[in-house]
C-alpha cells in the first residue's frame, strides 16, 4: 500500500528528503514505503512531520489515531504497535497494527500497566526477563511503552511498540516517541 505525501511536506529542506526526491513522480507524490535507507533519526523527523500533515482536526480520535499508528507501523515496521487507553482501573486495547492482542490490562500489570502506574516510559530489552510481562505474541522480544498524557496531566493511555529483535528500542526511540506521545496528548485534549 502506498501512502501519498502531500506536497507541502517537501517544503522541509533536509538532506534525507533528497534521498526521497528520486522517488517523486510527476505529480509530486511519493511512496512512503521507499525509505529503507533512512537512519532512525531521519525516520523520526519524517514521523513528526508527516503526523502534522495527516492529522485532520475535522475528524475524531479513532480516525486520527488510526493514521498515527499506521504511520508508525509503516515507517518502522515493528511487530506490533498501538495504544491502550485508560478505562477505570484497567487499560483497554485501542487502535493498533499487528497481530490480535490482549484486550484488558490491570493497573500495575505487565509492561503497559506498570508504565501507566509509574507514569514513566519503560524500555524492555528482553521481555522474557521482565517479571509479569504479558505475552500477547510469542514473537515479541523487546518492547517500549510510553504514557500518553492529556494537557491536564492526566494519563489518557499508553503507546506500546513491540519488536521481534532483542534490545531493539534505545534512547533515541524513547526521546522521539515521548515527543510523538506529547503531540498525541495535545490532540486528544482538544
Q: Which residues bind ligand SME (CB under 6 A)?
A: 80, 101-102, 105, 110-113, 133-134, 136, 140, 143, 160, 162
- Least separation in angstroms between CB 43 and ligand SME: 21
Tell me whether residue 46 or residue 65 sits nearer to ligand SME (CB atom). Answer: 65
Q: Which three cell numbers stand for residue 115?
A: 508504565
Q: How many CB atoms lie within 10 A of CB 154?
A: 10
Tell me whether residue 20 or residue 180 sits nearer to ligand SME (CB atom). Answer: 180
- Least separation in angstroms between CB 54 and ligand SME: 23
Tell me whether residue 5 or residue 136 sits nearer to ligand SME (CB atom). Answer: 136
- Least separation in angstroms between CB 81 and ligand SME: 9
Q: Which three cell numbers stand for residue 109?
A: 500489570
Can you say whether residue 148 is alpha, beta or left, with left for phi > 0 and alpha for psi between -120 and 50 degrees? Answer: beta
| Closest among 185, 145, 175, 186 to 163, alpha carbons compared | 145
Cα(101)–Cα(93) distance, rounded to whole angstroms? 8
Tell me whether residue 86 or residue 101 sits nearer to ligand SME (CB atom). Answer: 101
Tell me whether residue 59 or residue 119 sits nearer to ligand SME (CB atom). Answer: 119
- Least separation in angstroms between CB 136 and ligand SME: 4
Cα(123)–Cα(59) distance, rounded to whole angstroms? 32
**If you count them, how many residues does the chain have?**
190
- Least separation in angstroms between CB 63 and ligand SME: 22
Q: Which residue number is nearest to ligand SME in terms of Cβ?
A: 110
- The dihedral built from the CA positions of residue 167, 171, 176 and 177, taken in this order, carries a sign that is positive
Amino acid at each position: 500500500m502506498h501512502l501519498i505525501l502531500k506536497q507541502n511536506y517537501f517544503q522541509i529542506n533536509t538532506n534525507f528528503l533528497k534521498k526521497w526526491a528520486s522517488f517523486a513522480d510527476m505529480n509530486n507524490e511519493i511512496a512512503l514505503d521507499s525509505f529503507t535507507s533512512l537512519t532512525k533519526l531521519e525516520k523520526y523527523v519524517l514521523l513528526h512531520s508527516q503526523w502534522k500533515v495527516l492529522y485532520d482536526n475535522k475528524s475524531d480520535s479513532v480516525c486520527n489515531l488510526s493514521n498515527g499508528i499506521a504511520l508508525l507501523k509503516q515507517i518502522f515496521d515493528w511487530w506490533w504497535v498501538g495504544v491502550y487507553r485508560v478505562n477505570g482501573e484497567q487499560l483497554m486495547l485501542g487502535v493498533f497494527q499487528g497481530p490480535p492482542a490482549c484486550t484488558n490490562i490491570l493497573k500495575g500489570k505487565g509492561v503497559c500497566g506498570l508504565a501507566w502506574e509509574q507514569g514513566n516510559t519503560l524500555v524492555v530489552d528482553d521481555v522474557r526477563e521482565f517479571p509479569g510481562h504479558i505475552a500477547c505474541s510469542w514473537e515479541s522480544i523487546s518492547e517500549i511503552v510510553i504514557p500518553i498524557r492529556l494537557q491536564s496531566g492526566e494519563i489518557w493511555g499508553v503507546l506500546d511498540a513491540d519488536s521481534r529483535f532483542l534490545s531493539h528500542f534505545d534512547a533515541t526511540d524513547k526521546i522521539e516517541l515521548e515527543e510523538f506521545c506529547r503531540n498525541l496528548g495535545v490532540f486528544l485534549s482538544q
